[in-house]
Structure 1
Amino acid sequence: ELAPGDTAITNHPGFGGSHLPDITLITPVHSGTGRLLGYAASRAHHAEIGGIRPGSMPPAATRLSEEGVVIEPRLLVAAGTPRWEEVQQLLEFGPYPSRAPLDNVADLEAALAANHRGSRHLQSLAVTHGEDEVVAYMEALRQEAARGVRAALAVLPDGVYRAQGGLDDGAVIAVAIEVDQERARIDFTGSAAVHPGNLNATPAIVQSAVIYVLRLLVEKPLPLNEGFLDPVEICLPPGMLNPPFTVMGDNPAVVGGNVETSQCLVDTLLEALGIVAGSQGTMNNTLFGNEQFGYYETICGGTGAGPGFDGADAVHSHMTNTRITDAEVLENRYPVRTERFGVRSGSGGAGRWRGGDGAVRELTFLEPVALSVLTQHRRSGPKGGAGGGDGAPGCQHIVRGNGTVQELGAIDGAQLMAGDRLVMETPGGGGWGEPDPPAADSAASTRERLA
């Protein structure tokens, strides 16, 4: 139990974590009378936390330790006294230490400051309005979220809604959503066993995907909190979505589960409910670096269409929301040149409402780097809905300086030399509904849509 003046730190996937680059700090907030009001928490992605490749998202990882420094739950601050030396020692030693421990510590100092600021604001509210009033309002916010979800579930006809999605290597995600008036039971029985690579998710990731989909069902503004899960039971058997974890053991790898399996989870849940076609279903994670630097970006794609609307072109969707670095900033800070970044025209699925188009991105590297890509929907495209066509699958390859082309798999890596170029084409979203007959001037129609 956390006492006043304590702050816990962890990135362990078995204790509410997602993947190792995401480090979480949790600080209890006590009132002046010593009453526990709540917790201030911060989670931030560290671009480098160790592992067998720069960027800490190695495509070939099969064990958690290969993905970077594992911080089991421990105290970063005990009774007001920080333990920075212990944390720095964790970061600098071990089988695959961080390549940027000083950056890690600086970012953790910022996260701790954020927790302290949040704590002060909550304590100030308690002083101004009274402890009982603040605690009552927090509980009211949770109940309001639960009521919103119950109302959304009540609109759905009672019954069982099923779907089956899958990763490029054949690993299955199966879901059955049983709706009974204002409650739902979401059962993932039939999903794949523990993944031999890094595509294992965690219960926290599954819960996040479920909360996100439930939020899409609610049309009014709602506070996003634990109340979303009050009317929901999640059945999660052991396997890829609930792998075994121990505190000190060498656990299954998870980095791809956080960024890729999570996307498949959302699309599978949405397919079961039948409300929208599949979106790009991947984050198109791209990492490159060497011993001097590391860089990580996720690349946009097409979103799925739905009844009454087309999908959006070249945007992030679902479990990813980051803005890509501007080309001018990227080229100023890193040894890379942006050759092309645009819409991948025609990659969205056909339908009465078209799926959104993916993107094309080409980067030329100006010095040797290690490249990693973690992607999905390279073998098959995102599913269409209600008779709509599937979106185009993505692809990526390397053009070497001598003109040789090297194809890359969905989860892959390569050592690049100066002058080598990465070409990535991201998936389009699925279409919705039977396609209308072709227009007389389809080129003009496409130009009008893009405009």
Structure 2
Amino acid sequence: MDAIELSIFSSRIESICDEMGAVLQRAAFSPNIKDRLDFSCAIFDAQGQLCAQAAHIPVHLGSMAYAMQDIVEQVDWQPGDMLALNDPYLGGTHLPDVTLVCPVYMNGRRVGFVANRAHHADIGAESPGSMPLATHLDEEGLVISPTKIMRGNQVSAEFEQIKQALRHTIESTGDFNAQISANQRGAQRLLSVVEDMGAEKYERALTHLNEYGDRLMLQLLQRIPVGVYHFEDVMDDDGLGAKDIKIKLSLTINNSEVIANFAGTTSQVAGNINCPLSVVAAAVYYVFRCLMPVNTPACFGVYRRIKIIAEHGSLINAIKPAAVAAGNVETSTRLVDVVIGALAQAVPEELPAASHGSMNNVAMGAKTEGVSWNYYETIGGGMGGGALFDGLSAVQTHMTNTLNTPIESLEMHYPLRVKRYQVRSGSGGEGKTKGGDGLIREIEFLKPAHITLLTERRRHKPWGVLGGQAGKCGENWLNETRLAAKVSVDVSVGDCLAIKTPGGGGYGV
């Protein structure tokens, strides 16, 4: 297969993921999926190795790439099956992220899988938004071990049980149906590609694609000076008393592989900032992928030279049933900072300063006067400055690239009013190139509610590099009272919640 044929093939299967995403967005019921685009779509080969993905959520996709082979091996697959799972210890990330996997068959032969992962604001936790300050996995909602929700293209009894366990059945059912539809469309499109090429030629093309991805990874490794690079950073807290929780990395680079050894990282904690190893893989894969050419295919071959080591029972390789809701969103962002910090010692001209370092999670809802509502979103901040550019302001960075919930949508769906939404001027670090500024989002409550905040960089600033200044820490306020980084509180009518997100670090002097 020559370079042109390979490029066309890669684009062809990647476009299937894009189409799956379009179906999922347009069919979904919740603002979290249809407006914020908190979902991801991918294609895998018959063994569960990544073939293609859309440019969706890095923490979703990297973790799926890492865990999918184990999922495939666990299940007796049949045509017409659809599998659902969210168990972080069996291939998921955290409970709100529900993954649906569908095998694709041609003439009785399995030729691949299509999958999508979408964030459900209601996954059955007691706390609205299903992002509680929990100490145990079961407190975070419904745990779905790999379960067939469809068999032979027919809805299973298990699927009905899952839907009935959720608080917002209509919205949840709509989002699940959108995920099913996205996979069905992806399976149709993938089958048409395989039928057009023939199964043998399709599999040979995947081999060529992985070999090409591997060559690009080798070129990157030859560009990075051989050595062992050390870096560590800390999480602010776990919300339950533990502070300055260390993530430590020794990154070994040689001409043929990467070894990311996280020995020395703090043991798992009581709060929910723990995470499974699949989230670590997502962070490491992401940083190396950012250093590769734009046309690098998103396939297994790109990542197979990366080895990850983390002690079982540590913060980043937690033991079930440790709570993990914030690990996927907050610890993942700190892992990216740590990998960037290590690599910046080797190729400082190619890595930026720390970005705002938090997804600034806001979960809220209530049941009043017979009306139940449930809302979740992440809020952007400042991007770190780089050698050739100022950091962008008011954006999501690294492990998520979701959009904000538009004010019109938020106020239409929920008893909320957005009083202020603006760039937080001056929050980015100074330097030869500046860090981007964060955001201020202030929300007034029109009905009583319960809110949970899971945020970071409220005590430790996003660092600069090569003499650049750090960005400002974030702040959380309820009326005139400053809130902790991770907190769960009740609010009354007329109360105002203000989230001031961190800026990015500056680069150089």
TM-score over 0.5 (shorter chain): yes
Shift of 1:217: 0.9
Rounded to whole Å, the distance in 2 between the matches of 1:50 and 1:379 is 31
Q: Deviations over 1:50-88 (max 9, x none)?
A: 112011001x211111111111112112233321x3233
Equivalent position of 1:367 in the other structure: 447
CA contact (8 A) 2:447 2:492 kept: yes
1:188 to 253, 256, 262: 262
TM-score (normalizing by structure 2): 0.80
Q: How does 1:237-252 map to 2 (within 5 A)?
A: 237-238=311-312, 239-245=314-320, 251-252=321-322
How far, CA to CA, are the matches of 1:87 and 1:116 in structure 2?
A: 16
Is the 8 Å Cα contact of residues 69 and 91 (structure 1) preserved in structure 2? no
Q: Is the 8 A contact 2:147 2:158 kept in 1?
A: no
Aligned pairs for 1:21-420 within 5 A: 21-32=96-107, 34-58=108-132, 60-83=133-156, 85-92=157-164, 97-169=165-237, 170-238=244-312, 239-245=314-320, 251-274=321-344, 275-291=351-367, 292-399=372-479, 405-420=480-495
Q: Distance in 2 between matches of 1:188 and 1:78?
A: 41
**1:141 CA displacement:** 2.0
Q: 1:229-280 CA distances to partner (integer Å, 9 max, x unpaired)?
A: 21111112111111123xxxxx111110000000000011001111221000
Alignment partners' CA distance in 2, 1:87 and 1:7 = 10
SS at match of 1:286: strand
- Whether the 8 Å contact between 1:5 and 1:80 is mirrored in structure 2 is yes
Total equivalences in the alignment: 417
Larger radius of gyration: 1
Supply the distance in 1 between the matched residues of 2:293 and 2:366 (Cα, whole angstroms).
46
Distance 2:123 2:284 in 1: 28
Residues 150, 159 of structure 2: 8 Å contact kept: no
Alpha-carbon shift at residue 214 of structure 1 (Å): 0.9
Deviation at 1:91, TM superposition (A): 4.3
CA 1:79–1:330 in structure 2 vs 1: closer, same or farther (change >3 Å)? Answer: closer
- Give the residue type in structure 1 aligned to 2:360: N
Asked whether the 8 Å contact 1:151–1:182 carries over to 2, the reply is no
Whichever residue aligns with residue 258 of structure 1, its letter is N
CA distance in 1, matches of 2:162, 2:148: 13
Structure 2 letter corresponding to 1:352: K
SS in 2 for 1:295: strand
In 1, Cα distance between equivalents of 2:117 and 2:388? 37
Q: Structure 1: give runs of 5+ residues left out of the alignment.
A: 246-250, 400-404, 435-451
Paired residues of 2:130 and 2:141 also in contact (CA < 8 A): yes
Counterpart for residue 449 of structure 1 = none
Distance in 1 between the 2:354 and 2:88 partners? Answer: 27
Q: Output the CA distance in 2 between the equivalents of 1:185 and 1:384.
A: 25
Q: Using the alignment, how far apart are the partners of 2:196 and 2:159 within structure 1?
A: 37
Secondary structure of the structure 2 residue equivalent to 1:215: helix
Separation of aligned partners in 2, 1:155 and 1:182: 11
- Conserved in 1, the CA contact under 8 Å of 2:148 and 2:158? no
Amino acid at match of 2:339: L
Is residue 57–residue 255 contact of structure 1 (8 Å, CA) maintained in 2? yes
Cα-to-partner distance string for 1:329-382 (whole Å, 9 max, x where unaligned): 222222111111111111111212111111111111111011111100000210
Residue type matched to 2:451 in 1?
L
Aligned equivalents of 2:181, 2:468: Cα separation in 1:
50
Q: Is the 8 A contact 1:284 1:300 kept in 2?
A: yes
Which of 5, 10, 20 aligns to 2:95? It is 20
Percent sequence identity over aligned pairs: 39
Structure 1 residues 313 and 294: alpha-carbon distance in aligned structure 2, compared to 1, 3 A threshold: same
Question: Which residue does 2:23 correspond to in 1?
Answer: none
TM-score normalised by the chain length of structure 1: 0.90
CA deviation string 1:76-119 (max 9, x = no partner): 12233321x32332443xxxx42113332332222122222211
- The Cα of 1:163 is off from its aligned counterpart by 0.6
Amino acid at match of 1:209: A
User: SS in structure 1 opposite 2:271?
Assistant: coil
Q: Mean alpha-carbon deviation: is it higher for 99-108 or for 270-279? A: 99-108
- d(CA) in 2 for partners of 1:126, 1:344: 50
